[in-house]
Chain A
Amino acid sequence: MQRIPILKMGPYLLVSIQVDMDDRTAMALQDDLMEQIVRHRARGVLIDISALDVVDSFIGRMLADTAAMARVLDADTVVVGMQPSVAITLVELGLALTGVRSALNIERGMDLLRSRIEGPGIADGHHEE
């Protein structure tokens, strides 16, 4: 089974999904993410899905669940780089991912996370172990 790498950058976790995900990979990613959020006290998670041409209802639900779980662990989640066809499919499936925030690309996504997380007085790297 493939494992999707999770990169840590300051108080953020970066995930770039470059392979077609099957359900087990997705569940493994969810487990790993939660573990890493707790271990690194991460405040934000950025998931890049620009390489995904197909997102089925299971992956869609996984993304929404992941965002909700991360929320419980006090981390914001941003999904970036969704393809137009994927967006249309998800909407047609009735999965608007209301709890998940989106951005067009990684840059915008990081801006979004920073604006949410970095209040005054919190310096970069504050959350490192």
Chain B
Amino acid sequence: MAGKSALSDVVQKNGREILSAWVQRQQTDLALRNNLLQPGELQQQASDFLTAFGPAIERGGTDSTTGEAWSPVRDLLSTISRSRARQGFTPAETATFVFSLKRILFDALQREVKDSTQLADEMWKASVVLDDLGLYTTETYQKGREEIINRQQQELMELSTPVVQLWAGVLALPLIGTLDSARTQVVMESLLQSIVDTGSSIAIIDITGVPVVDTLVAQHLLKTVAAARLMGADCIISGIRPQIAQTIVHLGVEISDVMTKATLADAFAVALTRVGLAIVRKG
């Protein structure tokens, strides 16, 4: 098929010119963002892409970019777009990497292909391929972003549920951030395990760092308290801010059977009394 080879011929024959024109174009496009990339990184990525692109057209054709022959190109693109997602590029800027090649490729085709029908045909093919690849870039960019978000969520979850022992038999659980079902599960598990490990009989759940307490969060708190009670440990909820106290009452949340204290210090004093200890001033 003459049409098929023309595009790849053009790419392979004019590789050097296309590369330099393309890199230059991207540098103008990304003028403001150049500081995000290492020097030479763009050049390297563009040259890698072109090296893979030419053979891919030749072997895989332009009808679809999902075949075996295109997989080096796709792998390369997904690496590039993932690294761009980490570097802080926007999706549009990431997709521009592929789309900016269009103009350069069209120019090269115009120079090489003289027959106007064939030229239109080639341009259409190039356009379809590049659109496909551009979309693929955006897709992997999105996936890369989602992976980052998931990982951060996981880290946040692990970071934000420490159970600390304030005294022999007294545990504290300073909660920071919103409580959702998944976090409640983690909180509950780590609290109950600590109760078993330390043989504690009282646990203080401090919600100073919880921004909003709605009915759902309150329900999660009550569940945690109920589970601890089943294990034989009493819970005190502390760190209730004035607004939260108001919200709880306005929402009609029934937490009267749980002991609540305004500050962690108050709760600690109660806990010490429960385990039969007192703090006295020296001298």
Q: Interface residues, chain A, CB within 8 Å of chain B? A: 79-80, 82, 84, 86-88, 90-92, 96-97, 102-105, 108-109
Q: Is A96 within 8 A of B199, CB to CB?
A: no
In the complex where A104-B199, A104-B201, A105-B199 touch, is A88 in contact with B229 (Cβ < 8 A)? no
Report which of A97, A108, A109 forms a contact with B230, defined as CB distance below 8 A.
A97
Contact size class for B? 10 to 19
Binding site for A on B (CB under 8 A): 185, 188-189, 192-193, 195-196, 199-201, 223, 226-233
Q: How far is the CA of A87 from the CA of B193 in the complex (A)?
A: 11
Residues of chain B within 8 A of A102, CB atoms compared? 229-232
Nearest CB on A from B180, distance (A): 15
B232 touching A96 by the CB < 8 A rule? Answer: no
Q: A96-B226, A104-B195, A104-B196 are in contact. Are A87 and B201 (CB under 8 A)?
A: no
Pairwise interchain contact A96-B229, C-beta atoms closer than 8 A = yes
Q: Are B232 and A91 in contact (CB under 8 A)?
A: no
For the complex formed, measure the closest distance between the CB of A78 and the CB atoms of chain B, giving whole angstroms: 8
Q: What residues of A have a CB within 8 angstroms of the CB of B200 in the complex?
A: 104
A91 near B227: Cβ-Cβ < 8 Å: yes
* Shortest distance between the CB of A116 and any CB in chain B (Å): 14
> A86 vs B192: C-alpha distance in the bound complex, in angstroms?
10
A88, B192: Cβ atoms under 8 Å?
A: yes
Minimum distance in angstroms from A98 CB to a CB of chain B: 8
Once the chains are docked, how many angstroms separate the CA of A90 from the CA of B224? 11
Residues of A within 8 A of B199 (CB): 104-105
Q: Complex: how many Å from CA A87 to CA B226?
A: 8
Interface centre among A82, A87, A91, by most chain B C-beta atoms within 10 angstroms, is: A87
Q: How far is the CA of A90 from the CA of B231 in the complex (A)?
A: 11
Contact B226 A91 (CB under 8 A): yes
Residues of A within 8 A of B231 (CB): 82, 84, 87, 102, 104
Verify A88–B232 contact, CB threshold 8 A. Answer: no
| Of B196, B230, B233, the contact of A91 (CB 8 Å cutoff) | B230
Roughly how many angstroms separate A117 CA and B229 CA in the complex, as a whole number? 21
CA distance A82 to B192 in the complex (A): 10
A82-B232, A104-B233 as given contacts; A88 in contact with B227, CB under 8 Å: yes
